[in-house]
Amino acid sequence: MEQEEIEEIEEEYRGISRRQFVAGALLGAGAISLTAQRAFAQMLATGKTAKDIRGNGVPGGIVQISANENPLGASPRAIDAIMQHIFEINRYSFGSDLPFKLHAHHGITLGVDMSTLDFDDPRTFRALMEKNRVYMDAGSGPIVQLIGLLGVGNGTGECIESMPGYGQIARVFEGFKMAGQNTNVIRVPTTGDFNQDLNAMKAAITPKTTIIAITNPNNPTGTIVPYADLEKFVDSVPKNIIVFIDEAYIHFVREPGYKDAIQLATARDNVVVTRTFSKIYGLAGMRIGYAIASKPILDRMMLHQGFGQGMTVLSSHAASAALEDHDFVTQTIKVTNDGKDFLYGEFKKMGLKYTPSHSNFLIVDVGQDSRKIVTELRKRGVMVRSGWGYQGAGMNPLSNHIRISIGKPDELEVFMNEFKKVMGAAS
């Protein structure tokens, strides 16, 4: 392959050539394109190392594929919005239209004529709160913490969460237990293929259970729960139990026509769904996320913290603009799918077992203590995640797994070059 062809392919992934990007996107997300196959094959032969890499938002010489960030950077529209409002940071600004855009984005009707509202009238705010179904804050993390507090209640609550799973709700409960409260955590093992076992989670419910946490797609396994199964599960759970569904990675689901849980959150009084702008929109550093829920749950959330108090002027405008950056979303999904397909192929060649992922990361079984592999890769400037971080309740199902976030083609090239060396030395 000529150097000009390699540069042309790299431009496709950086979004420089819109013509090439659109053509590639039309190939679909189900299979890696022939052009991408040729690009990956050519790059693997170059022997690049981390010192040849300059990733977006990280110092040169580091391949940062451990935190599920967007390797393409931030949404260009979000960056433009930040620059347009950069000189407003000395003001208390409430001018973002983000809350209204989020309602429209998810098909939630506020039922009011915005052009006739008088925002200086306190009755306007109260009227909107009656219709509101969105809660915003500085990232989805603080919102998950808040939902965990709702589940803790008076210090006697119990949560159910999968193992392996993201575990943030469980950590809230464990923190209260360490502080002497009578809280409890039930960890339910996933199935043999790392799917969340809803039947086992339902069977684990006790009279003390106050919240059930489902990360969908799951982190760190990348598996998804079929919508029909999720709906059936929600309707079978006692209505006094909060069903928390974290959809941080929902944009990366590769199942055509997959239905998200937003409708469950608006139609059931005990369901809350969280989303983040950190992944698909590349705004991890801006810290903005939101929850969608029924009014009873939102009212309880408001008792702990006022609406959107964790947001900043810049983050709210950035998120509002990012919602309309459909080209960037499509490009991110293409790069992610091509990257996963490339890794699947390489792991097959190496005889390694991996778990097909509906997220912007995947896990692979390295057949030994994954901490050793992670340490050796780190020495070579390649950052991935060990499965040891997802242990608990005497279970450690990912001790031999590493989690790889999907980076740009050159970053994955370096990872695979170094990973093969480390695995060869280890064996």
221-232: pLDDT as tens digits = 999 999 999 999
CATH 3.90.1150.10 in the chain is located at: 3-73+326-426
Structure tokens at 280: 């698909």
Which tens digit of pLDDT belongs to each residue from 188-237? 999 999 999 999 999 999 999 999 999 999 999 999 999 999 999 999 99
For 99, the 3-state DSSP assignment is: helix
Beta carbons within 10 angstroms of residue 200's beta carbon: 15
Q: Could you say which DSSP state residue 381 is in?
A: T
Please name the fold of domain 3-73+326-426.
Aspartate Aminotransferase, domain 1 (3.90.1150)
The rounded distance, in Å, linking the Cα atoms of 344 and 354 is 7
Tens of pLDDT along the chain (427 residues)?
444 444 444 444 444 333 333 333 333 334 455 666 666 555 555 678 888 888 899 999 999 999 999 999 999 999 999 999 999 999 877 667 888 899 999 999 876 666 666 656 666 666 677 788 999 998 888 999 999 999 999 999 999 999 999 999 999 999 999 999 999 999 999 999 999 999 999 999 999 999 999 999 999 999 999 999 999 999 999 999 999 999 999 999 999 999 999 999 999 999 999 999 999 999 999 999 999 999 999 988 888 765 556 788 899 999 999 999 999 999 999 999 999 999 999 999 999 999 999 999 999 999 999 999 999 999 999 999 999 989 877 888 999 999 999 999 999 999 999 999 999 976 5
What is the SS3 assignment for 316? helix
273-303: burial string, b at 16+ Cβ within 10 Å, e else: bbbbbbbbbbbbebbbbbbbbbeebbebbee
HSE-CB of 288 using CA atoms within 13 angstroms? 27
- The model carries a pTM of 0.86
Instruction: Return the CATH fold of 92-322.
Output: Aspartate Aminotransferase; domain 2 (3.40.640)
- How far apart (Å, rounded) are the C-alpha atoms in residues 188 and 17? 47
**What's the CA gap between 109 and 227, in Å, rounded?**
23
Residues of the chain with CATH 3.40.640.10: 92-322
